[in-house]
Amino acid sequence: MDWKLLLSTFTSIFVAEIGDKTQLATMSLAAGGRSKLSVFLGAALALCATSALGVLVGEGVSRAVSPVWLRRTAGGIFIVLGVLFLIGREG
């Protein structure tokens, strides 16, 4: 087990998920529902399923593309999205 990778993955995903639309939807469902456990389990299973899909796709892509280029491409996309977010749309 790569504990450093586990911790960095947990931290990255945890920070990214705080206040996003998934968390807001989960809060809304929990506020309106009677079974908080059902909401928790549904949300947890959905996040596990999307994470598993991400890992599988990432593994498949890494077989065709060097991990160095994957990180560079992902970093470039994040920079572009960050700049677009900072610029925002007028009107």
- pLDDT tens sequence for the chain (91 residues): 999 999 999 998 888 888 888 889 999 999 988 899 999 999 999 999 999 999 999 889 989 999 899 889 989 999 999 898 888 865 4
Query: Treating both helix axes as pointing N-terminal to C-terminal, what angle do 36-64 and 21-32 enclose, rounded to 10 degrees?
Result: 160
- Residue 90 has what DSSP assignment? -
Looking at the 3D structure of the chain, how many domains does it have? 1
Closest by Cα among 37, 45, 39 to 25? 39
Distance CA 26, CA 17 (A): 12
Instruction: Give me 29's structure tokens.
Output: 């469902």
Q: What confidence score (pLDDT) does residue 90 get?
A: 58
Residue numbers of the domain that contains 50: 3-87
